[in-house]
Structure 1
């Protein structure tokens, strides 16, 4: 079969052996596959990523000298079952799957491991237990975005954003746009998005952002429609004075019980939720410096270089810092059904489609933020330009 092979940082279309499904696995014919920012990173930084993965207990991340078929955002049709499958779906059924296999008891990340070729190909192997039929006649283009939208859904869920709480999205690349879409699907009333690129700001508006700012002109923190209750440490101290004045004005009131109850219910003063979706050195420290006190910072962007933050800044503001990665099977399934029901519309994210021969051009184009967000691959298409 034909596939795009990555080796030593180069991408080439090659004829390779069609992968065979093992026990509990099936082969699907790829209809669409998205190009992810992780693929762009892996092409040039895979050795660094492999060392990070090894430090966390995963030994099989791709290396630069290997020949790897990238691609983990795919949709396709059932083609063939391996041994030991329940054969839940007929041949030709549209399906999506979590990009992970278990072979000989070892997990393999599809599209990021030499042992698990990905979706930049005519066919790809998936795990039957991690596969889901595409419901409701959902289009191939939209179904292919189940995986990246699930990443965003996981980030939003981990962010625990209340409907009345303001959410800031810093960086409006594909993952930032997906986070904006999922925040609005979760019912968050006010989403402020920030990006230097005019094109990305336009897409952020189309994804539902309520306020969009150019950080070179305006700080996102001052662009909220409603003035925040807390903008600095002095506001928190004054809230303490005001609360104590009121509580101690009532004779014999055990005022300390009010503070205990507030802690139990997590009902104290809070700042906004801030989603860091840039992933370059310096951004996280800038957010910690500028974000209002008691903010929750959710780190979604993947920074590949060493970075520096000032812990004392976060301590003085009592900021929450959460790092997120991936999703669970339930979130993946729920995302698929949100797409199929029309609760979320990923159309603004999709800005181009190429065939396998056009993948190198697509990678070059995606290196700059001025034109494209998410480019899909159609393995049957001869298209090489965007």
Structure 2
């Protein structure tokens, strides 16, 4: 089979021929149909502090159909269409028992981050059946939708709350989607350019604002007051400080941007507002199942964010494109 490999230390990814995998006990083999490119893929392959490592197969936003079952697999059959929760968990450590968040597992027994490949061997326990109404493109969006759902649930938005979302990428767009569905009142999105204004409004935002000297006043006017919740979905230096400046007194900031560089804040400003901060990563199987069940019941189509579809052979060149100025939102590799 063909698969994308990251050699490590910031070297360009390559497409290699690997032996076809075979499922062991409790495992399934998928024919991968779709795998999305995530911002994490870009940041984890540039050779920084956070890095996938040497000669790593990767890809974690994917869906496919089952072509082979290992022994002891129950509840699934050949031909089933599934999305994959890419983090494999032990189920025994404290994060697993207390939170069910696979990403936080302290002793993961393996990985299912193998989506940029023609075939994927994964534990049956991380497969989520896709309803017949969903396509493979939908299935490859379950993972990013689950990230935003997990963060929005942690915020505990109450009906009518004012929400500001910083950023216009996938996590931000899906944070709009879930904030709207989970009861938010006014939702305003703020980004550096207006390129994704229409997408933000389609996902459920009431207004879109670009950063500027009067952004605090513009956001408050559009929201009808300072935001009670601010979702930081950019992951760049300075964004936590910006979130604090916007937040209402006793407001809550939820960081979903996963910044991998130091991001200083001024605690005094946050203290005078009595704001709280919540950092989040990952999701549980509950989010995956809920997303797969609910994503065709909303008032907008999550697939609207897909801007490009490329073959696996085009992935190395696309990484170069995505590292610079570009017009893409979500790129899918089709296999």
TM-score scaled by length of structure 1 = 0.77
> Out of 178, 181, 185, which is 2:181 matched to?
185
Aligned to 1:17: 19
> Out of 88, 106, 112, which is 1:101 matched to?
88
Is 1:121 the counterpart of 2:117 in the alignment? yes
Q: Is the 8 A contact 2:160 2:186 kept in 1?
A: yes
How far the C-alpha of 1:100 sits from its partner, in A, is 2.5
SS of 1:125's equivalent in the other structure is strand
> Out of 294, 300, 303, which is 2:259 matched to?
303
Which residues of 2 match residues 214-253 of structure 1 at below 5 A? 214-216=210-212, 218-220=214-216, 222-223=218-219, 224-225=221-222, 227-228=224-225
Aligned to 1:81: 69
Matches of 1:165 and 1:23 in 2, distance apart? 48
Matches of 2:324 and 2:164 in 1, distance apart? 23
Which residues of 2 match residues 165-184 of structure 1 at below 5 A? 165-184=161-180
Distance verdict in 2 for CA 1:181–1:369, change over 3 Å: farther
Distance verdict in 2 for CA 1:26–1:221, change over 3 Å: farther
Matches of 2:191 and 2:285 in 1, distance apart? 31
Matches of 2:315 and 2:235 in 1, distance apart? 23
Aligned to 2:104: none
Q: Is the 8 A contact 1:338 1:344 kept in 2?
A: no
Aligned to 1:240: none
Is 1:345 the counterpart of 2:301 in the alignment? yes
Aligned to 1:142: 138
SS of 1:316's equivalent in the other structure is helix
Matches of 1:272 and 1:154 in 2, distance apart? 18
Deviating 4+ runs (over 4 angstroms): none
Q: Is the 8 A contact 1:193 1:220 kept in 2?
A: no
> Out of 42, 45, 55, which is 2:44 matched to?
42
TM-score scaled by length of structure 2 = 0.88
How far the C-alpha of 1:10 sits from its partner, in A, is 1.1
Matches of 1:203 and 1:83 in 2, distance apart? 45
Aligned to 2:322: 366
Is 1:70 the counterpart of 2:70 in the alignment? no
Q: Is the 8 A contact 1:151 1:325 kept in 2?
A: yes
Give the length in aligned residue pairs.
Answer: 316
Higher Cα Rg: structure 1 or 2? Answer: 1
Q: 30-39 or 364-373: which moved more?
A: 364-373
Matches of 1:154 and 1:30 in 2, distance apart? 25
SS of 1:341's equivalent in the other structure is coil
**CA RMSD of superposed structures (Å):** 2.0
| Per-residue CA distance 1:334-382 (angstroms, 9 max, x = gap) | 0111114346521221111000011122222323464111000102xxx
Distance verdict in 2 for CA 1:85–1:221, change over 3 Å: farther
Question: Which consecutive residues of structure 1, in runs of 5 or more, have no partner in the other structure?
Answer: 51-61, 112-117, 232-270, 380-386
| Per-residue CA distance 1:147-169 (angstroms, 9 max, x = gap) | 00000000110111122111100
Which residues of 2 match residues 316-327 of structure 1 at below 5 A? 316-327=272-283
Q: Is the 8 A contact 2:229 2:247 kept in 1?
A: no
Q: Is the 8 A contact 1:365 1:372 kept in 2?
A: no
Aligned to 1:200: 196
Q: Is the 8 A contact 1:11 1:360 kept in 2?
A: yes
